[in-house]
């Protein structure tokens, strides 16, 4: 008998109410679970001892909470809802539209379903079997279908109306899994001959944006409110901490928590007056929220620490060599047939195998077409790398990517008649946060912190904090206005 089991609770579209999460976590705590994880498909994962499992199962059933044990028969629905408003605002797709689609998916899908805005790069587009992507036409969606056990994707001939997304998804699933339709034409004919849907012609492929992973951690402002991103290096969130998070959400009337595909948590709608309470909770549980951006750009498999340990091994090398990874993300695959999201993929494979026993392992290194993680085309870089050699090869690949970007951005330089050098005026300086790049300019002060215009940086209070991410005053760096980056 196994000593421990993995229990999964789906959070459709990565959305969960604080009350629901509080209830699940309280039951888990009673079953002696002390830490949980979030999965790559925005689900809740926990490891439970077999002696406590039967009690937890009884409680979950009593509270009508669906779950799976050591199984993924019903994959979670994932969506780009977690980044809506805080990273960007869609042309027509709003949070209410996501809820409209979710209300239609009132069954447990057996296929992986992705729901994405077309103009974002925070969540993957094509890791599902049914990939719904908002089109430029208001309230109509592209559908890209990936058949089971296949890497090939085809586009549904028509755009689908919002109110028909759930019905079409269920019809496609039944045709694929129950009626055995596998070919593109057979699947389309089977679904459309039985039902009619509100559609528009899809005359071209979806136009996807270039990949750029936003910094999804820490306190950040949007409009008059703030959002808080929570990431853990070991992917473990203590239940005690999350229970305090849920309690504070309920106290301050925050109605939703958002789980991301990066195994992190985003809390939207934090009022300025409540930020002090959030800082208290973070301090109480010693939660750090200023990790390096190159550490956040990794996706590992669920149910294993191996990928996380390899990530941390490479990150130490990146930090030592000051490797630039902007515009890239990395996926670690340690198990056959698992799927991770990344523009650079690390795949572990056994070099020697005796039966089910792998005696020695090496790593193959790939990058996707144009380094876009949403591409399904993988190019081999190196095969059979030892773990010792992997970080250096990744560093070289990052440099190759950066050199390519530099060449693409080079403009033609025209020779001009030499002109006399102008007399340079003094370049004003400001103080910039090295974590979030927020600038303190004494010309404007910081009205949100009650600092009037004209207050010199040296006259700021000792306990002054960055107005965006709460970095302490001593960490802000003096820079020239002409050299500011952001």
Q: Show the domain range for 351.
A: 294-408
Instruction: Specify the number of domains making up the chain.
Output: 3
| Residue 183: pLDDT band with limits 50, 70, 90 | confident
Per-residue confidence (pLDDT) for residue 64, from 0 to 100: 96
Shared domain for 382 and 442, answered yes or no, is no
Q: Give 111-129 pLDDT, tens digit per residue.
A: 999 999 999 999 999 999 9
Shared domain for 107 and 154, answered yes or no, is yes
Q: Is residue 248 part of a domain?
A: no
Assess whether pLDDT exceeds 80 at residue 54.
yes
pTM for this predicted structure: 0.83
- Mean pLDDT confidence for 82-108: 90
Choose between 486 and 222: higher pLDDT. Answer: 222
Q: Is residue 455 part of a domain?
A: yes
What whole-number distance in Å separates Cα of residue 317 and Cα of residue 126? Answer: 31
Q: What is the CATH number of the domain that holds 478?
A: 2.20.28.10
Instruction: Give the percent of the chain with pLDDT over 70.
Output: 94
Q: Give 230-272 pLDDT, tens digit per residue.
A: 999 999 999 999 999 999 999 999 999 999 999 999 999 999 9
Q: Is residue 424 part of a domain?
A: no
Per-residue confidence (pLDDT) for residue 70, from 0 to 100: 94
Q: Give 411-451 pLDDT, tens digit per residue.
A: 433 433 344 444 444 557 788 887 767 888 888 788 777 88
- Among 201, 232, 248, the domain boundary falls at 201
Q: Is residue 94 part of a domain?
A: yes
114-118, 163-167, 467-471: the lowest-pLDDT one: 467-471
- Among 201, 233, 250, the domain boundary falls at 201
Average pLDDT, the chain: 90
Q: What is the CATH number of the domain that holds 311?
A: 3.30.413
């Amino acid at each position: 008998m196994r000593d421990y089991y993995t229990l999964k609770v789906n959070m459709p579209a990565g959305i969960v109410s604080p009350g629901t999460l509080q209830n699940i976590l309280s039951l888990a705590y009673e079953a002696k679970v002390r830490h949980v994880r979030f999965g790559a498909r925005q689900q809740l994962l926990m490891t439970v001892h077999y002696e406590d499992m039967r009690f937890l199962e009884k409680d979950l059933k009593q509270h009508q909470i669906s779950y799976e044990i050591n199984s993924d028969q019903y994959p979670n629905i994932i969506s780009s809802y977690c980044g809506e408003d805080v990273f960007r605002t869609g042309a027509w797709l709003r949070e209410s539209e996501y809820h409209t689609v979710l209300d239609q998916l009132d069954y447990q899908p057996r296929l992986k379903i992705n729901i994405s805005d077309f103009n974002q790069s925070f969540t993957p587009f094509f890791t599902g079997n049914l990939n719904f992507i908002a089109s430029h036409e208001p309230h109509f969606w592209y559908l890209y279908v990936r058949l089971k056990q296949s890497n090939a994707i085809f586009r549904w001939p028509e755009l689908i109306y919002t109110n028909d997304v759930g019905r079409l998804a269920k019809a496609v699933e039944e045709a694929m899994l129950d009626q055995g339709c596998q070919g593109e034409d057979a699947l389309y004919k089977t679904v459309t001959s039985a039902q009619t849907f509100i559609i528009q012609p899809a005359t071209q492929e979806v136009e996807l944006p270039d990949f750029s992973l936003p910094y999804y951690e820490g306190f950040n402002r949007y409009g008059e409110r703030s959002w808080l991103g929570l990431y853990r290096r070991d992917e473990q969130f203590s239940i005690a901490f999350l229970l305090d998070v849920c309690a504070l959400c309920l106290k301050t009337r925050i109605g939703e928590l958002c789980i991301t595909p990066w195994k992190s948590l985003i809390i939207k709608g934090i009022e300025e007056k409540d930020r002090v309470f959030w800082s208290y909770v973070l301090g109480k549980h010693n939660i750090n929220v200023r990790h390096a951006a190159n550490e956040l750009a990794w996706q590992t498999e669920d149910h294993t620490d191996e990928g996380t340990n390899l990530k941390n091994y490479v990150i130490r090398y990146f930090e030592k060599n000051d490797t630039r990874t902007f515009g890239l993300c990395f996926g670690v695959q340690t198990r056959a047939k698992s799927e991770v999201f990344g523009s650079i993929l690390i795949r572990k494979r056994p070099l020697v195998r005796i039966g089910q026993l792998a005696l020695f392992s090496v790593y193959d290194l790939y990058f996707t077409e144009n380094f876009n993680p949403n591409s399904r085309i993988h190019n081999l870089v190196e095969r059979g790398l030892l773990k010792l050699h992997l970080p250096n090869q990744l560093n070289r690949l990052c440099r190759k990517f950066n050199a390519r970007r530099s060449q693409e951005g080079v403009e033609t330089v025209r020779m001009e008649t030499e002109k006399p050098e102008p007399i340079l005026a003094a370049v004003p300086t400001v103080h910039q946060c090295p974590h979030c790049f927020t600038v303190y300019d004494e010309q404007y002060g910081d009205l949100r912190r009650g600092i009037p215009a004209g207050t010199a940086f040296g006259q700021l209070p000792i306990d002054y904090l960055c107005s965006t991410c709460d970095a302490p005053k001593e960490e802000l760096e003096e820079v020239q206005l002409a050299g500011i980056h952001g």
